[in-house]
Structure 1
């Protein structure tokens, strides 16, 4: 039986990053993975979806070439080639993770891992053989999968999840997307840009409902402008897949409506991968499908830890990575501080993009803050005008008394690459006046952050 200091169960962005950091700290480390290195994020989530979206962006540019004084004739797409490019990129990233693990002298054990008492993991390989490994510390990082609703059963053909949405052999003429979180709106944008007729069905009263309400309103306007049908306050009661087209029964405020589609994408969230990994057998405590951990990601059993989507924090790749690093640094007796979950950026990679951190305006008011709110539209940005990307805005929220940056919300081109400014500033307890006195380069989209802050303090120049 092989013995390690640390074994990580799962090789997603939480697992493989954790294993690498553990090895860097001098801990003998192994990682157990049942499918592909890199987990869902690299193989079926974050990376391949961005490849699809980039193809859609380029296709959109080509279709609007005349807006830039260019002439491009006979613009068309090869849907199969677009999907292949996405898969090739995902496979390349997975091989990159394999290289990193080898470089850091981490043992990779392929197979289905089941937790055992005594800080052991039994691994069943693809050929049916089993082996057992043990460690002083076992970190569970098994991640999540697409959530399946009883009234929306997935058959993998007519009613699909995100995996199938990335690998369809034929582009559907009509697509119904149930759910308008990040997964839903990203696929809605991709398929709409590629020429599919798309309908979004959202149970709550606005799309991207976790975002600031102004972001939701702008996103709905943008989507409707691009031809996407948006149905809010709408509930899917059943689907009929017996015919050539899928009939989706939708309960709305005005009554029942039937939406016809070639394919229905269920994007109603995720659920944890905790079944059949041995948690109950060894006595690890869970609550409502999440592993209970303390601020250092220790479970109720000494030597067992959990990070990422299977714990109560936000189900985001960068959160899982941060939690894993913090976890092993604590194991290595380093001085670490608990993760600040109030300063986690969230990003949605549609067109327009969405990026946000901190409180929404409604949350700040609910918390009792006297606030200053500033907003700057990209339509007033020189860089946005020159780039042809004038849609959207930056919105900032400050505490009026002390100048604390409570929240930042962006929608527009490239905003997912801009949000880190607000994240770092909030981490460093930067005030609104500090931001105003920080010179931003011109012309850039980032100037909109400075201008939005200036608007909050009554000093805005360009609107």
Structure 2
């Protein structure tokens, strides 16, 4: 006799565990299936441990520049093993926290690898435990939250080998600090690792196939980031691809081929692959069920429903943006729909993106170019960090906040930032967009002084010719 639940969630990342907790809060008897550590890739091998590493590099940078603050710090160095250990301890602590939350909310945790078989009213979930034995589970509803993994390029020899070629997972637990590092891809993941290793002393080269780095960001922000990275000594090659690699005894050769220009071959200690991700759709039994999959991502409607009755999917498995907070929100929307509530269908129009490099980058909504492309007559505001007292006091005078408004309605179409702590500031504009505030409400809002948030006010004022401090 199979164990029966109202909802079974396969995968315990930030989408899966949040959905399971909310389902239990709504009175659904809920189970979650996880083959590895609770919290998924994000908590164990992504969002959290990378931020721990980046915080270490930030402190290290400040220590090396202590003199600028009137301080003395001589012989500054680091212990790589201790740096990695701190990162892993933080991930472990939070994974334990997820376990506590699931227990507190009476969610049944089942260890093992899940796959689906035909069943009614929803597919059955067969879990292969660590002992190799199968357990059959039944539920009225089944949610897939199996996430995604790094994309590889087998034809160029760019597959993780555990030594020279790293994915994000290997880059988080380096056995050695590479003297010379090649990062392939300049999205958030690639740039974060490039920033970490460069700050820790590595000679870093970034290769990007597109004509600019951080291609999803506003062009002005990308340009400012490029200028900052190059000033810091990072080498960046855009409009180029790695054509082939050749491992040696202690290093790996990479041939870089620009769209226009002569290809070059150089040796590196390590290569980090950051060229996107693919959904974890394999070995789930999706083919036998006839689940629609588009380029490794499960197709769903605005409530996470697949084309198979009783089967849902959320998070990275369903496509971009590949962000933890997107997955969590999708999970809640999906569960509330299952429970008979009336949530708004999930949309991606107001999901903020954050990149925790140095300087930080954050954005929400339309870029200036996209706003114009979609037919908006726009008003654009800008405010530089150098005009903000708090930024100067922090010793962080480089950066900018840019806002894009509809000239006719005053609607905030998008906001784009680069500089210290912008990953925290962006939420102010997210709330403004969610509340459908116009430039009028933002102008009339009082921002505390001295704070970095004052720049958000000034950027809005600048869009309408009213900036005070610029």
Identify the residue that residue 459 of structure 1 maps to in structure 2.
466
Partner of 1:343: 350
Distance across 2 between alignment mates of 1:378 and 1:455: 14
Aligned pair 1:166/2:167, yes or no?
Answer: no
Say whether 1:142 aligns with 2:163. Answer: no
Count how many residue pairs are aligned between Structure 1 and Structure 2.
463
1:334 to 341, 346, 351: 341
Pairwise CA distance, 1:233? 0.9
Match of 2:17? 16
Task: Give the aligned partner of residue 395 of structure 2.
Answer: 388
1:105-164 C-alpha deviation (Å, 9 max, x unpaired):
111000010011112111111221111111000000000001111211221210110000
Pairing 1:413–2:417 present: no
Name which of 176, 186, 203 aligns with 1:180: 186
Offset of residue 313 of structure 1: 4.0
Is residue 446 from structure 1 mapped to residue 453 from structure 2 by the alignment?
A: yes
- What TM-score do you get using the length of structure 1 for normalisation? 0.99
Counterpart CA distance in 2 for 1:340 and 1:429 is: 15
The 2-side partners of 1:156 and 1:376 are apart by 45
Query: Counterpart of 1:359?
Result: 366
How many angstroms apart in 2 are the aligned matches of 1:266 and 1:337? 37
Q: 1:128 aligns with which of 132, 139, 153?
A: 132
Gaps of 5+ in 1: none
Separation (CA, whole Å) in 2 of partners of 1:336 and 1:14: 17
TM-score by length of 2: 0.97
1:3-25: CA deviations, max 9, x gaps?
00000000000000000000000
| Residue of structure 2 in register with 1:25 after alignment | 26
Matching residue of 1:81: 82
Provide the C-alpha distance between the structure 1 equivalents of 2:248 and 2:76, rounded to a whole number of angstroms. Answer: 36
CA distance in 1, matches of 2:249, 2:207: 21
CA distance in 1, matches of 2:398, 2:124: 54
Partner SS state of residue 157, structure 1: coil
Deviation at 1:242, TM superposition (A): 2.6
Residue equivalent to 1:267: 274
Compute the RMSD of aligned alpha carbons: 0.8
- 2:385 matches 1:378: yes
Deviations 1:189-232 (A, max 9, x none): 10111111110011111110110000100110111111111111
What secondary structure does 1:343 align onto?
coil
Deviations 1:235-256 (A, max 9, x none): 1100111342211100122211
Alignment deviations for residues 402-447 of structure 1 (CA, whole Å, 9 cap, x no partner)? 1000000000010000111111101111111211110101111111
- Match for residue 410 of structure 2? 403
8 A contact 2:402–2:459 mirrored in 1: yes
Distance of 2:394 and 2:222 partners within structure 1: 24
Distance 1:296 1:348 in 2: 28
* 1:315-352, Cα deviation, whole Å (9 max, x unpaired): 11000000000001001101111123111100101111
Runs of 4+ in 1 over 4 A off after TM superposition: none
Equivalent residue of 1:255, what SS? coil
The question of whether the paired residues in 1 share the 8 Å contact of 2:381 and 2:461 is answered with yes
Q: Secondary structure at the match of 1:217?
A: helix
Counterpart CA distance in 2 for 1:268 and 1:314 is 14
- Cα distance between partner residues in 1 of 2:131 and 2:153: 33
